[in-house]
Amino acid sequence: MTSPAAEADGEDPGSVAARFTGRAATGERRLSAALAEVTLEGGHVVMVKRGDGNGAARAEAAGLRWLADAGSVPVPAVHGDDGRWLVTDRVPQGRPGAPAAVRFGRDLAALHTAGAPAFGAAPPGGPEHAYIGLAPMRNVHGTSWPHWYAEHRVLPYLRRAVDDGTVRPAEAGVVERVCERLPELAGPAEPPARLHGDLWNGNVLWGADGRVWLIDPAAHGGHRETDLAMLRLFGCPHLEEILEGYQQVAPLAEGWAGRVGVHQLFPLLVHAVLFGRGYAEQALAVARSALGR
């Protein structure tokens, strides 16, 4: 049977992997309609991901290279991308463990402190119009984190959720009030951090080498507490050990634990747009809590 990818552009994952690596493909295992694991001549295994030409593959490749440039958290090597296809190394997986978690915390702190030119800065070579998961995400520069976060991360998804009927118009005000009060809710000013940007547990791989690897970034310049808040939102093994390692390298500002909900508004509203009312209710609850209600 001809694959959807082959029907679309005349290539299959094996031929794409061969084109980018210069090595013949000897095996292929489909993991989804858009993702395949390809074994190359000599036994090396790569992941081949197909985008739909909307720039997501380009954004992910640029993000992986930018994270790798920090020399901290390991990420899969990028073999190539062409706007539609992305080929990266496969990460052999192991089991979660406390020592790896502490090291990951230290590595993540080093990644964040590598910095970014501005809040909303895209990785070098990355597009302004990027994606977080399946949701569009614009990388627009800002100098004030509270203003930038409200205008370019929270409010666009709130408006989309209201337009879709996922958030009722009468409910939107509580999130809007959080945005208005962000200058006082955000804590001490911080420089732009180099974020993974979509740091939920599914993008955290516990490698067979005893280290934690990151995949599928929505990388941009942002506030470092946002990455940590997403880890807590969706759960991550050994999270307390991760935070312990993080604090060893880059201690968080006083009161950070009380700001977690503010940083979770963005991913919760993204999920409300993608997956519906349950996430909208969580976002509204987080907003009320941030306002002390």
pLDDT given at position 134: 87
Per CATH, which fold does 4-89 belong to?
Phosphorylase Kinase; domain 1 (3.30.200)
By percentage, how much of the chain surpasses pLDDT 70?
Answer: 96
Would the pLDDT of 206 be above 90? yes
Q: What pLDDT is recorded for position 240?
A: 98
Domain boundary assignment for the chain:
4-89, 98-290
Q: Is the pLDDT of residue 228 over 80?
A: yes
DSSP state letter for 258: G
| Cα–Cα distance for residue pair 206/111, rounded to 1 Å | 17
Residues 228-253, mean pLDDT to the nearest whole number: 97
Please tell me the number of Cα atoms within 13 Å of 196 on its side-chain side: 30
- pLDDT for residue 3 is more than 90: no
* Lookup: tokens for 160: 């989309």
Q: Which tokens hold the place of 146?
A: 């509270």
Tokens 């968080």 correspond to: 252
Q: Which pLDDT score is estimated for 29?
A: 96
What per-residue confidence (pLDDT) applies to 9?
57
Classify 166 as helix, strand or coil.
Answer: coil
Tokens 């995949």, located at residue: 215
> In the CATH scheme, what is the code of domain 98-290?
3.90.1200.10
Question: In the structure encoding, which two tokens stand for residue 106, read together?
Answer: 């230290």
- How far is Cα 236 from Cα 240, in angstroms, rounded to an integer? 9
Q: How confident is the model at residue 55 (pLDDT cuts 50, 70, 90)?
A: confident
List the one residue out of 116, 138, 114 whose CA is nearest residue 127: 138
- Burial environment of residue 32 by CB neighbours within 10 A (0 to 12, 13 to 18, 19 or more): exposed
pLDDT for 4 beyond 90: no
E-strand spans in 85-168?
A: 85-89, 129-132, 135-138
Q: Which of 52-56, 139-143, 209-213 has the lowest mean pLDDT?
A: 52-56
Token pair 């790896």 in the structure block, residue: 100
Query: pTM, whole model, 2 decimals?
Result: 0.93
